[in-house]
Amino acid sequence: MKRFVQEFKDFINRGNLIDLAAAFVIGLAFVALTKAFITFIIMPIVAIPFGKPSFDDALILTINDAQIRFGSFLTELVNFVLIAVAIFIVVKAYNAMTRRDTTPAATEVDLLTEIRDELRAARGRTDG
């Protein structure tokens, strides 16, 4: 039992698990923020031409007391697309901020060769 407890402690204290937990919490907060943005800003804009801030009550097909709600599906589809766009923008901004120069750094040999060539060229100009 002691070994199990120790292995569990080691597992919990690994940096990867803590990072994953932090990412999960931030992800939940981001979902809440994005959902609020869509619910309170975007969908009221949708309500301007359509009269309601969702399509839930539109496009309902009723057959024998069963309702097929195409409008509810359309609302969720719009939510999905808007969330995907928001995530795309965040990832694109993150990638732009963390982009590193991909050109390989010059090695010492390359630098010394360049200095040697410049010195030879400079000597050639002064000799003539």
pLDDT tens digits, one per residue of 51-77: 777 778 888 889 998 999 998 898 888
CA angle 39, 43, 45 (to 5 degrees): 135
Q: For the chain, which domains are there?
A: 2-127 (1.10.1200.120)
Query: What is the band of 11 on the pLDDT scale with cuts at 50, 70, 90?
Result: confident
Q: Is residue 86 within 8 Å of residue 72, measured between CB atoms?
A: no
Higher per-residue pLDDT: 38 or 17:
38
pLDDT at 109 over 60: yes
**C-alpha to C-alpha distance for 66 and 72, rounded to whole angstroms:** 15
Q: 75 with 54: CB under 8 angstroms? A: yes
**What's the rounded mean pLDDT across residues 42-47?**
80
Is the full-model pTM beyond 0.75? no
